[in-house]
Structure formats: structure tokens, C-alpha cells
Amino acid sequence: MNGAPDLLNVEDVVFDYVLPRRDLFGSAPVRRALKGVSFRLADGESMGLVGESGCGKTTLARLVMGLARPTKGRILFKGQDLARLGPKALARLRPGFQMVFQDPYGSLDPRRRVEAIVAEPLVGLGRDRRRAREAKVADALSAVGLKAGDGRKYPHEFSGGQRQRIAIARALVVRPALIVADEPVSALDVSVQAQVLNLLRKLRADHGLAYLFISHDLAVVRYVSDRVAVMFDGSIVEAGPTEPLFAAPRHPYSRALVAAVPGGDRRPALAVAGDASHPRSEPAVPDEGCAYAGVCPYAADLCRRERPRPRALEPGRLVACHRAEEI
């Protein structure tokens, strides 16, 4: 971290989903999706968030975007606690952080023209007059490689890759400081994926954007991010600069993830008992102890008793594992 003021500060965030009630009395059961997550993002920094389904990365993205409030903990954007802001104050901050979604078909309103879609964040702000808005929309469209004339068309006239560019233009039009991208290329073909990834890199360089880039695809995250955090079952298990982390992951889960990517030695991935251990209807993990202990090949008694907190193995590299030094 380069000493610059933090753009985004996530402090010990906990989030519970309320589940449908089982019985009439007593409180409704909850599922703890985030179990105390903390990290910081500076201006212009790009951080990747990787993990498999159920790890909480999408929930975290929604919280960072202020679309939901954390059950505990704080999320600070430019020093302001999002949960404490009223709707008007939040709306004023909005241009600072925008989001790009996974589904290029669902993230654009099929009944509106592209120019209206891209202009929407500006309309929400309510600051510019129409001509100024139109100019900004045209700028945003050309920044993502589309033509100004494309604004008159409807989403269904575009392909998946182009729609994702439109979504990026929409995020860009208010000149945000931070873009949260939730699996932005997962639904795209490989050849198109590369186009959009290159575009994201270029935009970052041109506009000094910070990214919070969420993906299950490690190689994609590597391409776009300076730092990475690996999540498992609601916690960050390892975090650090991208290259060293992927080259030599320290946490057993990170190792399993890296090994699972086709092309390398797969054995660490296969060693994890993972999904074959029990049906979904049974609780997967006890509340105490390391969440990963149930399937970790290195699990010891300590691991099952006590939840490991992230600690710095080297400057800048955090690992939440009791046995990180030994393995």
C-alpha cells in the first residue's frame, strides 16, 4: 500500500441472511454469509476477489455498493460510513462507485434505448442538462469502443460482448473512482472475454480507476488485479499481491484453487474432500474453528477448536491459517 488515503475501507463486516422461518415462535434462522471481512483499497488500486460459490464474494460486492447494510462492521467509502448515510446523501456519493454485473442480458433494461441506459446514472444524479448528458454518454460509448450512433439502438440488437461494453460505459459515465465488477466476463465467449479484459485494463490506465474485481476464474483475476483476496465460506483466507500469491499460495484452500486450474499439477485440488463429504442439507461446518477444517488435508485439533485470524506472514501477505508456516 502506498500511503495514499484509502478509497474503500471494509472493517470487520458481518452479514446474515434471514432464512424463512421454521416455526412460529422464536427468531428466524440466519445464514451468516460474511464472517468478519476486512480489507482496504487505495485510489487506483485493483483488487481481485476470488472464491467459489457460497464464499460470500457477491454478497460483499453488494454491501460495498451500498445495496444492503452489514449486520455488523462498517464499510467506508472515502471515509464515509455507507450504512449511516440517508438515501439522499448516499445518492450524492453514488457517482464515486459504480458496478458492472455478470449477466450481459439481464443487466440492461430491454425496453430502453442504449443512450437512456448509459445516461441513467447521470439522471439519478440530476445535475446535468440534457446536452451535457448527451455529450457524456457519447464520450462513454466511444471510450468502450462503440459508435455514437449505437446509442439509438436497443440492447437486443447487440451481442453479449457489446452489451457488456454498454454496461461498462454506464458505469464509466459518471467518472467513478471505483468500479465493482462482479464476474463481468464469465458469461462471454473466450475471444470476446479477452477484448473486454483488455478494455478494462486500458480504462484503468486511462482514468486511474480502482477496481474490485470479483471472479471465480483465477487467470482472469490475475490479468486485471494488483492484489488478490481469496475467500472461503464468508472469510478471507489469504490476501496479498497477485503474482506472488498465485505463484506460491500459502493457505491450503488457495493451493487447492490454484491447483484446480487446468494446466498445472492438480493433486492439491484432488486431495480436498470437498463436495463429496456430505449432502447439503446437513450443516457443513461447525461454528467454531476454521471453516476449512472440515475438508482440509492439514487440519489439526487446533484448527477445529479455534478460528484462525488473518496474520501477516510477510509484509503485505495475510493468511488465516494456524499451520501456514509448516505446510
Partner 1 sequence: MTGVPLLRIEGLRVELPTADGILRPVEVVDLDLAAGERVGLVGESGCGKSMTARAVMGLLPPGARARGRVLLDGRDLIAMDEAALCRLRGRRLALISQEPLTALNPVKTIGAQVAEGMRLHFRLTRREAAARAAELLDRVGLPTSRFPLHLYAHQLSGGQRQRVAIAMALACGPDLLIADEPTTALDVTVQARTLALLEELSLERGMALLLISHDLSLVAEACGRIAVMYAGRIIEEAPSGALFGHPAHPYSDGLLAAIPQLQASAPGGGPAPLRPIAGEVPDLRHRTAGCGFAPRCRLADAVCHGSSPPLEARTGDRRLACFHPLAEAKGR
Partner 2 sequence: MSDAWIELTARARGNRKLVIGGAITAAFLALALLSLVWTPYPATRMDIASRLSGFGAAHWLGTDHFGRDVLSMLIAGTRNSVAVAVVAVGIGLCLGVPLGALAAARRGWVDELMMRISDVTFAFPALLSAVMITALIGPGAVNSMIAIGIFNVPVFARLTRGAALRIWSLDFVLAARTAGRGGLAITWDHVLPNLAGLIIVQATIQFALAILAEAGLSYLGFGTQPPQPSWGRMLSDAQTLLFMAPRLAVLPGLAIAVTVLGLNLFGDGLRDLLDPKLGNAGDGP
Please state, in angstroms and rounded to a whole number, the distance separating the CA atoms of residues 7 and 178: 8
Q: Which of 110, 215, 121 is nearest to 163 (CA)?
A: 110
Question: How many residues are present in the chain?
Answer: 327
Of 65 and 272, CB closest to partner 1:
272
CB of 289 to partner 2, least distance (A): 35
Please state, in angstroms and rounded to a whole number, the distance separating the CA atoms of residues 193 and 212: 18
Q: Does the CA dihedral 248-251-253-256 come out positive or negative? A: positive
Q: Segment contacting partner 2 (CB under 8 A): 13-21, 120-128, 143-151, 278-286?
A: 120-128
CB of 259 to partner 1, least distance (A): 7
- In angstroms and rounded to an integer, the radius of gyration of the C-alpha atoms of the chain is 21
Contact between 178 and partner 2 per CB under 8 A: no
C-alpha cell of residue 217: 476464474
CB of 107 to partner 2, least distance (A): 4
Give the CA-trace dihedral at 53, 59, 61, 66, to 10 degrees.
Answer: 170
Contact between 58 and partner 2 per CB under 8 A: no
Of 136 and 170, CB closest to partner 2:
170
Taking CA 128 as the corner, what is the angle to CA 6 and CA 151, rounded to the nearest 5 degrees? Answer: 95
Of 75 and 230, CB closest to partner 1:
230
Of 86 and 283, CB closest to partner 2:
86
Q: Are 50 and 77 in contact (CB under 8 A)?
A: no
Q: Are 322 and 308 in contact (CB under 8 A)?
A: yes
Q: Which of 316, 118, 99 is nearest to 214 (CA)?
A: 99
Residue of 54, 73, 95, 145 that binds partner 2 (CB under 8 A): 95
313 binds, among partner 2, partner 1, none (CB under 5 to 8 A by kind): none
- Give the strand pairing for 311-314 and 80-81: unpaired
Contact between 67 and partner 2 per CB under 8 A: yes
Q: Which of 161, 137, 135, 131 is nearest to 150 (CA)?
A: 137
Of 136 and 227, CB closest to partner 1:
227
Please state, in angstroms and rounded to a whole number, the distance separating the CA atoms of residues 20 and 109: 30
CB of 294 to partner 1, least distance (A): 13
Q: Which residues bind partner 1 (CB under 8 A)?
A: 52-53, 159, 161-162, 189-195, 197-198, 216-220, 222-223, 243, 246, 256-264, 266, 269-270, 272, 274-281
Of 121 and 308, CB closest to partner 2:
121
Of 145 and 160, CB closest to partner 2:
160
Contact between 96 and partner 2 per CB under 8 A: no
Query: Which residues are near partner 2 by CB under 8 A?
Result: 65-67, 87, 90-91, 94-95, 97-99, 101-103, 105-112, 117, 120-121, 123-125, 154, 156, 160, 167, 170, 174
